[in-house]
Structure 1
Amino acid sequence: MDLPTCPACGQSVLDDDATECPFCGSSMSAAPTGKAPANKKNPPANTASKPDSKSAAASATKSSTKPAAKSTSTSDTAPVAKSDTASAATTPPKRLGLFDEKEVDPDEIIATDQEALKRAFPVRAQPVKGCSHKVVCPMCETTGYIPIKGAGHDVKCHNPDCLVPIFTAPAIEKKEVAAEPESSGLPVWMYGAIAGVVIALGIGGYFLFFNKPPINDADRPIAIIPPTNSEDPIDKGEKVPVPDAGGEVKAPPVVNLPRLAADLASAARRVPRTRKPFARRWSAEAAARMGKVSEANGQLRKLEEVGRTVFFLKVPPLAEIGWQQRQEKAGDAEVAATLEEALQAAETLRPQGRFRYDAAMSLASLLVAANRDQEALDMIRQHHTSSMTGRAAADVFVAMQATDFDFARATEAAPIGGWHAPQFSGMTAALVTRGEPDAALRWAKLADGPEKLAEATMVWADFLVQSTTIAELPDQLAAIDAAIKNLSPAGRALVRGRTALALLKREQAETADVWATAARAELAGIPIPPAMELKSKKEIINFRAPELGEIRTAARATAELARLEIALGNTKAGIDAVDRGLQFCRAMGPAPAVVQGWLNEINQLGMSVIESRIKSELSLPSNDRARQQAADYVRNCKVLKEMADERFELQVATIEAAIAPTSLEAVVAFITDKQKIPDNEAFGDTAISWMLVEQFQATGENDRAKQVYNQMAKDSKSNAWQLPQIRNMIADGEIDDAADQINRLAGTADQRDHDVHQLLSRLVRQGDWKSALSIAHLLSDAGLSEEALLLVSAQASTMGHGAEILKFADQLQPQYTEKVSIYTGILLGSTVEKPTNPTPPIPPEGADAAASNE
């Protein structure tokens, strides 16, 4: 049955008896109604620009079922939700090319029902307790949060520039609840007709989505793996009969990779326009990692349609293609061509953000494997930093390339206290894991300083021991011993200590003890330098920062030895090593509290008073000379503050390395010993106190945990309480509250990203990947959320949970950008060969620091 059509706006109207169009107010007959027809340039309230009836219905159906999107960018097609009192629709845009810019007519302004504006619940920009249900405005794609009870009702977008701020929040439950019909003037049979239309649209949408009609070649998805016929095109899992111990046959689900690969390509086409290049990048990288080089190149060609502004995204996929070509024994010319294309793309790397470090490490690793060391050095020299940004980039890179997407394990590759040269040293882990240990050692020897050389060699030795077979261990250990002969004593101690710990993890206790003994001997021969103390303004003015590389390496090596001693059961020797390590650190800079006192004095007194005091103390002849000396004083105070913070950070990390179930009381006694710990080193006001509390709880000593809490953690002024609180929320099943708290974490974005990835990775290692995936989905930062979804999905997939992830992810109602991350993660995880002795689940967070020590 054809529905009546408005002669003015062309919109279909459900009510056969309507005399006025509910969309534009025009008369449904030829007779005028007293209301002017809708004008495109000046539409009245409750109207929208002229739509196609079928497209408007489909758009309304999509908006009521589409889950909330994270990306704040505008989608290629922005559906408009239908409210209780008014319907809004937009003219369907013309079919766009892959990255064509959508034209917007500024004269086409969509008005909003003012009554709906007053009635709609306002969407919050940030989640708060009791208001953490995520929704997205279908008009502007802005993410917000509402109470759960607001699902299914009209809400108001918090974006002040949104053209259609009122939309219906997607209902949580799909089950329809029968409601008593209100008196609306419609005949009873009309409700049945409306329900039939809605059901028909739903069924039609279902088959349109899962049984897509042929599309033109320009928009055809690139099949990463040739799809195979399946009785159920929706099912991404295959049932493979597996006999259990009793002889019965079970059917655990495994991922249908061909289907999932096709779905990834499809999802990449449907993400918002501004995110499509990133989706293409991941599609290409997943295809390359799976050995489908031609499909990966096809995705890159799609990426190139945008233009040179996004060419930088080609670097990691091209590096992966190059690795696959080397693995397939492709010709040198073919690999060289890939490298040249990658080098050209690298010229467009943006100078800001973390991606450039990820990309540089990926390409430089392949260059080293291809014996193009100088080009690799040039690449890393241009894109490197030892800041938190560089450290986070190195940890993500190591997780993606060398630790089976386990971010927590990747952070353990760095020396205690964090990376010194994250990009340079992190590459050695990838090279060893890729089967290029000789190239990795050659790269390490290109270091331009002894500290960098020691760090890179340590990572090389660590991953060499981890990746080799037990039968090959003697030969590899001989290679390590030969490689460290030219290192400094501190460098040799660092490598020997890490190698011993790696051997202990491989259950080679006797050999580990031999290497531990050698590390002890190396450190015993290094004298402890005097602590850095500046007692007058004159000393501060004349201060020149010394070379601290060897002292810093000795401190890190001593921290490695402390962790090793605890793991070997030598608690007293471990605490003694901590004490010695702190003494090395005290030579790296003054105590932070002392330097902060100098800075406080400057801020409180002002420069004029500081100049006067310096003039008097140094007996300076003129005010100009005093002004110059005061400027040097302030500058050096700031330099010393950075040195003091670095010293304290390494001291805290040294103590944390010794925390284990067997050493808790010894650590508490040590850090509360006033004879060994000066007053200006407030270790109780750091994460150490919270680690001790959680460790005591993990070992069942709740009373002792309360005592330590009251003694140290309770009055702590640091933000170290946040992560323990989040872990408690997760343990209690309060996932929404945990995600809310994560979104409010203090500190820099890079530090937050690092903490979040580490938290979620440990959840996966503990077997709670569902909580990790849920939290990643609820993160308010779209970029962090997408990266976390990928890493969690990949890590859990390596543990055999791929099919379960797909099923569970459907409950989260992910957007297409999130689907790309989840699907990519599962595909990447599927490429990891399961180890003979997989990493066992780790204990709760309180025991994480010493998980390898037991």
Structure 2
Amino acid sequence: MDLPTCPACGQSVLDDEAKDCPFCGASMSGKPQAKKPSAQAAAPKSAKPTATAKDESKPAKASSAPAAKKTDDDDPFAVDKAAKKGAVALRPEPSKGRAHEVVCPMCETPGFTSTKAGGRDVRCCNPECLVPIFTAPEVKKEKPPEEPTKTGPPKAAVYGGGALLVALVGVGVWFFVFRVTEVPTPEGALYVPGQSGSDDSATDDGDEPASDGSSSTATSSIEDPRTPQHIRAASLKAMEEACLRRENNRSKPYCRRLTATAFARTGNTEGALQQLDQMRALRPSIPYYRIDPLVELAWRGHQAGDAAAVKTRLDEAVAVAARLSTRGRSRLEYAVDLAAALIAADRLTDARKLIDAHEEMTPDGQFAGELSAMRAMKQFNADAYADEAPIYRWAAPQTVAVVIGLVAHGETEAAQKWATSQQNDEIRSEAILVWADESLRRALAAGNALDMSAIDAAAKGLPPSGRVRLYARLAGRYLRAEEKSEADALLVRAHAESKQPAPPGELLLPGMKDLMTLQLPAAAPLRMQALAAAELAVVESRAGHVEKSAAACDLAMQFLRGSTPSPMAIVQRLNEIKDLGSDAMKTKLKQALELKTDGEAFLAFNEYRRNCSKIADASANRFAVQEAILVAIVNAGLLDSVSGEIDGRSEQSDLNLREPWAVTRVPRLLIEQYTKNGNDDAAKPIVAMVNAAGNRGTIVEQLIAVAEKLIDDGKFKQAAQVFEGRGSGGMSDDQRESWRLRLAGRLIAEQKVDAAFEFVGGISDADESFRESALWFAAAQATQSGQARKVWEIGDKATWSATETVSIYGGLLESLDVPAPPKTASTGKTTGVPTSSR
């Protein structure tokens, strides 16, 4: 039996009584089809009006597509232009964010789009389709099963009475299996943007290489990238597509910034310039976002010897840098990157003006300097970077970061010029130290000898403490490389410089009368001498020279104790003011100073209280440096001397000599190290000291311990969120973010890449911008460790937002061709101190 055939599309129809074709909707009789009233027009009058139906007496507009112009009723296949323009175009192949399959009811061609297109008009991807516009089926969203609520750590572990609430809906861990294979590398694999025939998509025009049979992978292309060339091309393509996404996109300017920078760093100047044009056209525009790609293009021009291009890029970057905010961490990183490029272009004045405006010595400024240094050094593992962090914070973190950036670009002479141009002794000493240390690190990594003549010449302009610290740091670098003879020679030079000047005597707190006029000595020179001695103590301990290390440690303490009175003594004076009250203190001062009037006593009391507060602040700063020094020395292995030091000072009856070591992290670190070494007897008296003082650690250390335990238990998302909410109130932003980077870095170093991304992905939306930064670092570190394919697969997940996507691929491209940092002997440093809290 012959089936009825549609006169319009030619399809056979099973239903003999069908009036309309189920495939194309045309009349089976071949006559024009009467228009059906819309659902809204046919609704009862009692129905509640919709937003689009203001007048019930008038027919409502169709909701599935824009209003169409009247078409020829004699042509059942006519498609009005307005409906065609408003329809969502289906893609012939699935891609990130467009993996939902929709089959055309007319020609049965499958196409792909976002699940958000369900219920909307879509356009078939088959250009020969007779009826290309149809409504995509609604997508039924199923609620994922919830994991059982996981309990957090014991209440007392973090808050001592508060509860840590960490209950999350679980998301499965991503598991990928990838075997590295040898695949022929084709020519012309570079992705070039803007070659698509459509304005709203980025497509690949590259050729797909044929397999030569040597690989288990039949093909390697931009759609299934396995070679570095194709991973690079596919990542750039994915980044450009993410820039065009409207949904789930926190910031289009952010996407464009990272994408433009990625194009520039991969040598695709044309692509970078196109992205910069898009950034300029964005509304609202964020001008200083253009600094990163402009600086990268300037470096490219500098390497190529194109002075005109360098000037053009830097002029624009300097112009937009004038609009940098006066707050926030990112401005500090922009300033560092631009200043380094300006110095390389011999624009020292512009660089100095920029850094002077954005030098920040706060903890957040320190962390920004560390991030700048890590990016320049291509050391994306924050935990490994912390292992080489300075004993105490830099005096000028942005200035130091500029030095590192210059050396990283091979501009060692420019870095030396910048370092030696610093007017402040402390800043100049640190800048020259970092310049020399980075130069040696890179020379050792390349297997080259370091020319010490330039370093010796620069050292002549430093005070003795600067030279001691310089030679000790270089000796430590040689020890890491296991070149002991070079290290020993530099240690001899460091000791020779350390003999002058001699430390001052311990500064004791005077009586009330003398305290009124007490002037503390300048803190910076004594702090510099203490840190120089501490650097020497650390290296000597690592070299196995216990007696020399102990002597240097004692010298460091002497310098600091000559800078302010004991913190215990000055706190006792402040407590006296509080306990006695103002009237009693005025009477006491009136007698001690032999004052005649109450007015004089009033002025004296205010001056006395003000001076006590100033001295207390200075004493607290001094003790913070002491603590940082002893932590570093304990990490270097000098345990017995430090144990004796803190025990003796904690038991002093004279407040001028007593120091509150029992409540610091030093005794806890000693316990940890003694226990690790199996020396429980040495640990017992320190345990008693800590328990008597009620020293359970700072909130920072407690939260770190909780996060580490959750990571050990495989609860990665919960671990990330330990650092959020009310329970983390004792942590500063820099500590919170530094530690999350460090913990992610450890996971990747242990080849737990999926776990690291789950950990970082667990950072809540309240820290969304930092989550993007952490994804960038995680992707860079994992790629550098040989996991580029895995990072690509992780980034290709549809769950990431647009900004997260560009962060992952931006990090991947940052280190795709960058070798991992050389492994050196460990310093033995533990996790006791957040880098940015030093």
Normalised by the length of structure 2, the TM-score is 0.72
| Structure 1: gaps of 5 or more residues | 2-25, 44-48, 67-78, 93-118, 131-144, 152-170, 175-211, 240-252
Question: Structure 1 residues 350, 576: CA separation in 2 closer, same or farther (over 3 Å shift)?
Answer: same
Deviation at 1:228, TM superposition (A): 5.0
CA contact (8 A) 2:478 2:487 kept: yes
Distance 1:670 1:222 in 2: 67
Deviation at 1:432, TM superposition (A): 1.4
**Please, which of 250, 271, 281 is the counterpart of residue 257 of structure 2?**
281
The one-letter amino acid paired with 2:538 is R
Question: Structure 1 residues 234, 428: CA separation in 2 closer, same or farther (over 3 Å shift)?
Answer: closer
Q: Deviations over 1:308-341 (max 9, x none)?
A: 85111222322221111111222x1211111111
**What's 1:794 paired with?**
780
CA contact (8 A) 1:494 1:556 kept: yes
Distance 2:355 2:385 in 1: 20
Kindly indicate whether residue 435 of structure 2 is the aligned counterpart of residue 455 of structure 1. Answer: no
**What's 1:238 paired with?**
226
**What's 2:159 paired with?**
none
The one-letter amino acid paired with 1:819 is T
Kindly indicate whether residue 799 of structure 2 is the aligned counterpart of residue 805 of structure 1. Answer: no
Question: Structure 1 residues 291, 662: CA separation in 2 closer, same or farther (over 3 Å shift)?
Answer: same
Deviation at 1:221, TM superposition (A): 5.0
Kindly indicate whether residue 758 of structure 2 is the aligned counterpart of residue 774 of structure 1. Answer: yes
CA contact (8 A) 2:257 2:289 kept: yes
Secondary structure of residue in 1 paired with 2:324: coil
The one-letter amino acid paired with 2:622 is R
Secondary structure of residue in 1 paired with 2:226: strand
**What's 2:440 paired with?**
465
Alignment of 1:609-620 (within 5 A): 610-620=585-595
The one-letter amino acid paired with 1:516 is L
**Please, which of 725, 731, 735 is the counterpart of residue 747 of structure 1?**
731
The one-letter amino acid paired with 2:643 is V
CA contact (8 A) 2:250 2:802 kept: no
Deviation at 1:517, TM superposition (A): 1.4
Distance 2:583 2:64 in 1: 74
Deviation at 1:264, TM superposition (A): 1.5
Kindly indicate whether residue 391 of structure 2 is the aligned counterpart of residue 426 of structure 1. Answer: no
The one-letter amino acid paired with 1:416 is I
Q: Deviations over 1:193-246 (max 9, x none)?
A: xxxxxxxxxxxxxxxxxxx996754x55599xx85547677855416xxxxxxx
Question: Structure 1 residues 622, 366: CA separation in 2 closer, same or farther (over 3 Å shift)?
Answer: farther
Question: Structure 1 residues 629, 279: CA separation in 2 closer, same or farther (over 3 Å shift)?
Answer: farther
Alignment of 1:701-712 (within 5 A): 711-712=689-690
**What's 2:191 paired with?**
none
Q: Deviations over 1:724-773 (max 9, x none)?
A: 33223323333233222222432221232233333433443454444433
**What's 1:646 paired with?**
621
838-847 or 817-826, which deviates more: 838-847
Q: Deviations over 1:134-177 (max 9, x none)?
A: xxxxxxxxxxx9955x67xxxxxxxxxxxxxxxxxxx8699xxx
**Please, which of 367, 374, 377 is the counterpart of residue 342 of structure 2?**
367
Question: Structure 1 residues 27, 491: CA separation in 2 closer, same or farther (over 3 Å shift)?
Answer: closer
RMSD: 4.4
Q: Deviations over 1:19-70 (max 9, x none)?
A: xxxxxxx987847274333346999xxxxx9964899999xxx99999xxxx
**What's 1:38 paired with?**
50
Distance 2:714 2:720 in 1: 11
Kindly indicate whether residue 297 of structure 2 is the aligned counterpart of residue 311 of structure 1. Answer: no
Kindly indicate whether residue 748 of structure 2 is the aligned counterpart of residue 764 of structure 1. Answer: yes
The one-letter amino acid paired with 2:276 is L
Distance 1:128 1:277 in 2: 40
The one-letter amino acid paired with 1:361 is V
**What's 2:714 paired with?**
733
Distance 2:203 2:683 in 1: 56
Kindly indicate whether residue 483 of structure 2 is the aligned counterpart of residue 508 of structure 1. Answer: yes
Kindly indicate whether residue 617 of structure 2 is the aligned counterpart of residue 673 of structure 1. Answer: no
Deviation at 1:701, TM superposition (A): 6.6
CA contact (8 A) 1:398 1:410 kept: no
The one-letter amino acid paired with 1:238 is R
Secondary structure of residue in 1 paired with 2:422: coil
**What's 1:785 paired with?**
771
Distance 1:699 1:763 in 2: 25
Deviation at 1:779, TM superposition (A): 1.7
CA contact (8 A) 1:236 1:803 kept: no
Secondary structure of residue in 2 paired with 1:658: helix
**What's 1:387 paired with?**
362
Q: Deviations over 1:772-800 (max 9, x none)?
A: 33222212311221111111211221111
Alignment of 1:23-102 (within 5 A): 30=42, 32=44, 34-39=46-51, 52=64
**What's 1:682 paired with?**
660
268-277 or 373-382, which deviates more: 268-277
Deviation at 1:812, TM superposition (A): 9.4
CA contact (8 A) 2:366 2:393 kept: yes
**What's 2:245 paired with?**
270
Kindly indicate whether residue 563 of structure 2 is the aligned counterpart of residue 563 of structure 1. Answer: no
**What's 2:451 paired with?**
476
Question: Structure 1 residues 620, 811: CA separation in 2 closer, same or farther (over 3 Å shift)?
Answer: farther
**What's 1:161 paired with?**
none
Secondary structure of residue in 1 paired with 2:557: helix
Distance 2:633 2:51 in 1: 74
Secondary structure of residue in 2 paired with 1:721: helix
Distance 2:827 2:776 in 1: 21
The one-letter amino acid paired with 2:502 is P
Alignment of 1:526-545 (within 5 A): 526-545=501-520
Q: Deviations over 1:473-532 (max 9, x none)?
A: 655223212221221111110111101111112222111101111112221332112333
CA contact (8 A) 1:405 1:794 kept: yes
Q: Deviations over 1:571-613 (max 9, x none)?
A: 2322332222122122333334444444455556655555554
Q: Deviations over 1:689-716 (max 9, x none)?
A: 4434444565567897788556527633
The one-letter amino acid paired with 1:716 is R
**Please, which of 302, 321, 324 is the counterpart of residue 326 of structure 1?**
302
Kindly indicate whether residue 270 of structure 2 is the aligned counterpart of residue 294 of structure 1. Answer: yes
Question: Structure 1 residues 773, 649: CA separation in 2 closer, same or farther (over 3 Å shift)?
Answer: farther
Secondary structure of residue in 1 paired with 2:783: helix
Normalised by the length of structure 1, the TM-score is 0.70
Distance 2:829 2:710 in 1: 13
**What's 1:496 paired with?**
471
733-742 or 420-429, which deviates more: 733-742
Pick the structure with greater CA Rg.
2
**What's 1:723 paired with?**
704
CA contact (8 A) 1:315 1:359 kept: yes
Secondary structure of residue in 1 paired with 2:237: helix
Distance 1:40 1:602 in 2: 73
Deviation at 1:362, TM superposition (A): 0.8
618-627 or 26-35, which deviates more: 26-35
Distance 2:272 2:738 in 1: 29
Deviation at 1:439, TM superposition (A): 0.9
Identity of aligned residues (%): 26
The one-letter amino acid paired with 1:783 is S
Distance 1:323 1:222 in 2: 29
Alignment of 1:192-211 (within 5 A): none
| Structure 2: gaps of 5 or more residues | 1-12, 14-37, 56-60, 66-85, 91-95, 101-113, 123-142, 154-164, 175-193, 210-218
Distance 1:215 1:628 in 2: 81
CA contact (8 A) 2:717 2:763 kept: no
Question: Structure 1 residues 57, 290: CA separation in 2 closer, same or farther (over 3 Å shift)?
Answer: closer
CA contact (8 A) 2:632 2:829 kept: no
Deviation at 1:386, TM superposition (A): 1.3
Deviation at 1:348, TM superposition (A): 0.4
The one-letter amino acid paired with 1:807 is E
Alignment of 1:105-124 (within 5 A): none
The one-letter amino acid paired with 1:826 is L
